[in-house]
Structure 1
């Protein structure tokens, strides 16, 4: 593969990543804004509120199904063509979902919308790394992360406001408009670089994935990522049912309750950026996972002493989300570095493991929540974080020791 000419980061070249982050924001808020509306949507379709978490699980499953294909395909036909086609597909899905007549049709389109997650990770992020110099690419990714974090913080509040005053259909219309604006920005400002790739049969892709999944260190690290991130994913999926239906909060109170929880994630990411250069890589994970475990114990305490359930949920989940912000990026970096196979293939494998794990656990908790209530949610969060202290902790500790032996900080 040839080396492409790099561009310097300036006001002109920054317009491409800004257009890309607008699409990323559209995809993320497509989930965070819709979750508060799920109780109204299930009522419109005449089904139980237990279907509410499925909106998120099918969205994430859609993000997993084509990760293995879209990265290699964009190598062949070009990142720009693939990215523009992906944005159009996402816009169409957002518009067609407003015409659905059943929960099954709605979930089918949520699955298709989730493919936008793969377009971002397998195509958009790869383009950033190819176009910009190394340090500029890091700056661009950091900027995009900060902007995209607005979606989980702003989405629940906007979603609650939408349900109070307008129909849920308008949320998808607004998201489609945002994504369409990003398409025009990408078409005008994204460089049209084309990689020269030797065309090989699809069996080569399969061989690469087999090599990745046979790597035990990769599997341990890749599985550790959903362990630390699923509790917050479960919260986003189940909190409409927990807070509104069971605890009797209004839609606006529900949205406001999300602010400290999702704000903890933002603060965790900011803390990671500020201290990562002063600590050995992996140290933030070792320091904050006990904090996440404490958060799960606070959740369980709230289930036992029901008078304090609301505050236990908010405090416990804020600790969990803060810990995730301090550890997720480091674990992701370790996973990508754990295999000698091409980064695109490894990143796709991580994405597939994450999304499939999200789907399975959300659906299992959705089903058990009907019979066991808050115990299903709290014990699942505790089990996931406690499980991290087994083989994933040993792997991270070994990596830190190996880096220390090599003189790496």
Structure 2
């Protein structure tokens, strides 16, 4: 398949990622705004608060289940058509969830809303990587991450406000409105290059996926991404239960506790953008992962000083989030470019691995947390980071060595 020509990053070409990040923000705040409201939602539906993390895990599962289709579809029909259709579907799901009356129907629509994650990961991110040069694409990804991080920063505070003053329904109405605005921006500004796409039978989709999943480098790098992302994902999923229900913080204190943690992620992305042109790609990951290990050890140590556990938890998570900020965009680029198969299919394969891993780990840790509480959360974070120091670290060094041998900085 003919590859689209890359374009320079400037004020005009940046309008496309700006419209995409508005949709990304809508999808992320769809999760971050509803999580602090889940305790009230479970009460409204008359079920246990242990259902609260399932809102996030079903959201992630939805993203995993449809990724296999969206990437190959965008390879054949064009990224723009599939992306615009995905935005409209997400808007519809945000409006239909307003009519749910049971936790089961609520989770069904959370699952369907999760399709938006694959629209971003399998279609939107692939379009960004194809549109811009390597380092410009990483800068755009980091900048998009910073803008989208307004979702987990604002979400808990807005969610806490909704709990105290209005219904959770209004959150989804606002999200549907933002996503609708992004649809108009993408329709106007997203490039739609006319690429020659061979007409192939659908069986080729399966062959492409087999080729991607047989690639050892792709598998190791892709599975290493959840290892560095999951501690923060677990924090977002479980922090309402940890901080409000177990540690007895108020809803507003819970919202404020998110600022240093997610501020660390924003700072990490800013640092990455500043040094990406000066450092060899991958060097920030080698710096970031040991910092994540330090963060998890701080959280674990906090278990032995209960009076200061909240501070240890926040400081440790801030270290982890900063390290994720300087690592994720580069690691994602390495994983996506590790296969020669069309990037929509590769992005789909990557998205499925990530989302299924997120779903499984969140549900397992949720059950462990129900039985063992704070030690389960702390040990889960520590175990995930320790696993990275095995095959993923070896593969990263191998990729960096290969790049150095061919003169890629």
2:74 equivalent in structure 1 = 74
User: Does structure 1 residue 153 correspond to structure 2 residue 153?
Assistant: yes
Q: How does 1:82-93 map onto structure 2 within 5 Å?
A: 82-93=82-93
Unaligned stretches of 5+ residues in structure 1: none
Alpha-carbon distance between aligned partners in 1 of 2:178 and 2:303, rounded to the nearest angstrom = 40
User: Does structure 1 residue 96 correspond to structure 2 residue 92?
Assistant: no
Per mean C-alpha deviation after superposition, the further-off stretch among 255-264 and 6-15 is 6-15
1:64 equivalent in structure 2 = 64
1:276 equivalent in structure 2 = 276
**Contact 1:261–1:321, Cα closer than 8 Å, also in 2:** yes
**Contact 2:142–2:269, Cα closer than 8 Å, also in 1:** no
Q: Specify whether residues 259 and 383 from structure 1 end up closer, same or farther in structure 2 by C-alpha distance, changes over 3 A only.
A: same
User: Does structure 1 residue 375 correspond to structure 2 residue 375?
Assistant: yes
Q: Specify whether residues 215 and 16 from structure 1 end up closer, same or farther in structure 2 by C-alpha distance, changes over 3 A only.
A: closer
Q: Specify whether residues 11 and 243 from structure 1 end up closer, same or farther in structure 2 by C-alpha distance, changes over 3 A only.
A: same
Offset of 1:238 from its aligned partner? 0.1
Per mean C-alpha deviation after superposition, the further-off stretch among 70-79 and 126-135 is 126-135
Offset of 1:393 from its aligned partner? 1.2
Q: How does 1:6-405 map onto structure 2 within 5 Å?
A: 14-129=14-129, 140-405=140-405
Q: Specify whether residues 256 and 77 from structure 1 end up closer, same or farther in structure 2 by C-alpha distance, changes over 3 A only.
A: same
**Contact 1:79–1:193, Cα closer than 8 Å, also in 2:** no
Alpha-carbon distance between aligned partners in 2 of 1:101 and 1:328, rounded to the nearest angstrom = 38
SS at match of 1:304: coil
Deviation per CA, 1:337-373: give whole Å up to 9, x if none.
3223232222211111110000000001111111111
Alpha-carbon distance between aligned partners in 1 of 2:29 and 2:21, rounded to the nearest angstrom = 12
Per mean C-alpha deviation after superposition, the further-off stretch among 157-166 and 368-377 is 157-166
Q: Specify whether residues 326 and 139 from structure 1 end up closer, same or farther in structure 2 by C-alpha distance, changes over 3 A only.
A: closer
SS at match of 1:36: coil
Q: Specify whether residues 269 and 16 from structure 1 end up closer, same or farther in structure 2 by C-alpha distance, changes over 3 A only.
A: closer
Alpha-carbon distance between aligned partners in 1 of 2:191 and 2:269, rounded to the nearest angstrom = 30
Alpha-carbon distance between aligned partners in 2 of 1:372 and 1:172, rounded to the nearest angstrom = 33
**Contact 1:88–1:180, Cα closer than 8 Å, also in 2:** yes
Q: Normalising to structure 2: TM-score of the pair? A: 0.93
Q: What RMSD in Å do the two structures reach over aligned CA positions?
A: 2.2
Unaligned stretches of 5+ residues in structure 2: none
